[in-house]
A and B are shown apart, each in its own frame.
Chain A
Amino acid sequence: MKTWRRINWPIMPPLIAVACLLVFPLMIVLSLSTRQVAPGQVGGIVGGYQLTLDNYLTFFHPAYLRYVTDTLWLSLIATTIAVLAAYPVAYWLAVAPSSWRRRLTIVALIVVLYASAVVKVYGVSIALGPMGLRGSIAEFWGVGMNNRLVTSTVVVVGLINFLTPIATLMMVAPFQQISPSLSAAAQSLGANRLTAHLTVIIPLCRAGISQVFMLVYAASVSAFVIPLVLGRGQVAFLSNLVYARFSEVADFPGGAALSILLLLITLCVTLGLGWIVGNPAAKWRGYRS
C-alpha cells in the first residue's frame, strides 16, 4: 500500500506515452535488425522470420571503425569547443543586469536557433568552400584543399556553428541558480574575481555544465545534415550510413542493425563521458581514500 502511495500518479500518463514512443519503435527496429536480407525487395526482408546476426556482423569490418571514430571524435571536438565558447556568454547572460545588449544577445541566439539547419550548413559550406576559406584551412594544416583533414575541420566548424547557440541557452540555467552573493562573499574574504570564479562558481555549476555537455554531445553525434553536406563524401557519420540503408538502398535490416549499434555506441560513450566529466574531483578523492 505504501508503494502505491509513493508513485507519482500525475507523471504516469506522459511517462507511459514516452515509454511507448521510445520502447515500441525500438523493439520494431531491434526485430528488423535480425531479419534476413533479400536484396531487390523493398525493405530487403525475406518472407517468414529467420533470425540472423549477419546484419550486425557486416559492420565489424575494420573500414567501419573510421565512421565510428569520425562520429565520436569530431563530435567530441565540436562539443568541447562549443561548450567552451558558450560558457562566457552564458555566464554573462545569467549574471548581467537587464540591458538592451543582454536582450539583443538573447534574441540573436534564439533567431540563430530558429534558422533552418540546412541554411546554416550551406552558409558554412559556402564560407569554407573552395571559393571561401577552404584554401586558408588547407594552408593552416599544410595539406591540399581536398585533404580529409580539411574536410574534417569544415565539418567540425559546421557542428560548432550548430551547437554553440544551443549550448549557450542551455547553460544559462545552471548559472542562474547560483547566487551572485557567493562570488561577492569570496571576494570580500580576499579572493580575486578569477579565483572566486574558479573556486566557487565552477564547482557549484559543474553538474549543470556536465549535463549541457552531454546533451550537446548527443545532438552532435546524431547530426545528419552537417556531415552529409560538409563531409563531401570524405567524412560521414553513422547517421548518414543509416539513412542510406533505409532510404536509398531499401536495406531495412542493415539500417536497423546499424541504428542499434549507433545507439549502443552512443550510450557507452555518453555514460563514459558522463562518468569522466561528472564529478572528477570527488572520484579522485574516492580513489585516494
Chain B
Amino acid sequence: MTHCIHRRNFLAGISGVAAAGPLNFALADEKPTITLVEWGGRTRESIAALQKYQSVANLRWELHAGGAAAIVAKIRAAKPAVNYDVVAAWSPVFVTMINEDWLETVTPEEMPNLADIPAGLFIRDASGAAKTVPREINPHMWGYRQDRAPFEIRRLQDLLDKRLKGQIVFPGPVLNTSTQMISIARGLGGSEENMKPAWEFVKELAKSGNIGRVASSDAEVNNSLTSGETSVGFGAASHFMRIADAGLPVTPLAKMPADSGFKAAIAMQGWCILKGGNTKVAKAWANAMVAPEPNSQHAAHNGVLPVNAKSSVPPRIAAIRYSNDELAAHTYTPNWKVVSRELPNWTQRWEREIAPLL
C-alpha cells in the first residue's frame, strides 16, 4: 500500500484544518484571558507551574523590565486605557499605585483565601480598604560568602574594614527602593525619617574603596556574589537562598544581635488588581493562587516565606523565618509612604554625595 499526496487530498486536508481552526480557538477561549505583569526567571516558572491549581482564566504574560516601579510609568502612560489586569509588585510600588487610586479593593467575601492571610500584610488605602493580595514575604538583608569573605562579618562597622577592599556589592539608590540605606540608618539609630547616620556611614564606605560594584539590578547582586567578584552584599533573602542552592556557602545576616547594626527590611510581595480591567476574573485567579498548596509551592520554589497561615514553610528557608519576638528584634517594616516620598531626594543625594566618592 502506498500513500500518495494528490492535489485534491492536499486541498481537502487544508480545508479540514481550516475548518477545525476556529473550533480549536473556541475551545481555548472558554476561559477568559487576563493580562498578568510578573517577574521573569524563577518567579515566572513558579507562577506558570501553579496554573494547574486554577481553571478560571488563561494568562497573557508581560514581564517586568527593570525595577517594579517601571510598570507604574507604563500604566500612567496608557491611561485612560487599562492594559493589565493583575500586576505583581511589592510594598512601595503598591503604595504609589494606591495613591493614584488605581487599585481594586479586595475582600475575603470575594476572595475567601484572603481570610487565611494575616491582616497586617495587606496594604490599605486611607479608608482602611485592603488593596493588595499578598503572596510572599521576602526580607531584605545583608549577607556574605563564607568562602570568599576574608573574615566573619558580625557588625555593620566590619563593612569598613580594609580587608574588604572591593568586596562589597552595594545596591544602587533605586534598587530595593533604598531599603539598604534605611537598613543602615535603622542599624545606626536612625530611620527613614532620619537618614543622616546612613549617609555618613555610606560616605565612609564609598571612601574606603570597599564597594566593588554598585548594582543596578537584583541579577547583578546575584551574579557578583555567585561569580566571586564580591563577597558581601545586600539583597532579598530569596537571592541568598538561590546562591545557596548553587552550592555556595552563603550566610544571610538575618538574625544578628541588636547591637550589630544589621537589620532586615520586611517587604511583602504580591499582586494588585487594577480598576477598569477584567476585575472579577482577576480576583478569582489571584484567590486561587494564594490557596495553601500553591502558596506553599511558590514559597518553596522561590525561597521565600508563604503568607497563607495554612501553607507549609520549607525547612531550607527556616533561617529567614522570624518568630514574633525575632521580628521585633531583627527586622523593621519601612514606612513606605515616607520612602515613596523621599526616594527622589535620596537618588539625587546618592548622585551628588556618594557616586563621586566611588
Contact = CB atoms under 8 A, between A and B. Distances in A.
Given A43-B76, A66-B356, A144-B165, A232 B214 contact: yes
A233 interface: yes
Given A40-B99, A146-B165, A248 B213 contact: no
A280 B343 CA distance: 48
A63 B358 CA distance: 13
B353 A145 contact: no
A131 B226 CA distance: 12
Contact of A146 (B97, B212, B342, B348): B212
Contacts of A249: 69, 174, 343-344, 347
Contacts of B73: 42-43, 246-247, 250, 252
A245 B344 CA distance: 8
A244 B347 contact: yes
A58 B348 contact: yes
A247 B344 contact: no
Contact of B172 (A44, A67, A233): A233
A63 to B, nearest CB: 4
A56 to B, nearest CB: 13
A66 B73 CA distance: 28
Interface string A2-43: 000000000000000000000000000000000001011111
Contacts of A43: 73, 76
B328 interface: no
A39 B341 contact: yes
B196 interface: no
B213 A233 contact: yes
Contacts of A160: none
B207 interface: no
A73 interface: no
Interface in A52-69: 58, 61, 63-64, 66-67
A41 B100 contact: yes
Contacts of B209: 144, 146
Given A42-B73, A43-B76, A248-B347, A130 B358 contact: no
A129 interface: yes
B52 interface: no
A267 to B, nearest CB: 23
Contacts of A131: 227-229
Contacts of A250: 69, 72-73, 96, 344
Nearest to B353: A63
A248 B70 contact: yes
A63 B355 contact: yes
A131 B75 CA distance: 41
B17 to A, nearest CB: 35
Interface string B313-346: 0000000000000000000000001001111110
Given A129-B229, A234-B214, A244-B347, A39 B355 contact: no
A41 B227 CA distance: 38
Nearest to A240: B216
Contact of A233 (B66, B67, B99, B216): B216
Contacts of A243: 66
B8 interface: no
B351 interface: yes
Interface in A242-265: 243-252, 254
A240 to B, nearest CB: 8
Nearest to A254: B344
Contacts of A206: none
Nearest to A63: B352
Contacts of B197: none
Nearest to B354: A233
Interface in A134-153: 144-146, 148
B229 A130 contact: yes
A211 to B, nearest CB: 34
Contacts of B173: 244
A42 B96 contact: yes
Q: Ordered nearest first, which 8 A-B pairs have the shortest CB separation?
A: A233-B214, A248-B174, A63-B352, A146-B166, A40-B341, A247-B70, A251-B344, A40-B340
12 contacts: A41-B100, A63-B355, A130-B229, A144-B166, A144-B209, A146-B209, A146-B211, A233-B214, A245-B347, A246-B73, A251-B344, A251-B347
Given A146-B166, A244-B347, A251-B344, 8 more contacts: A37-B344, A58-B348, A145-B166, A229-B216, A233-B358, A245-B344, A248-B347, A250-B344
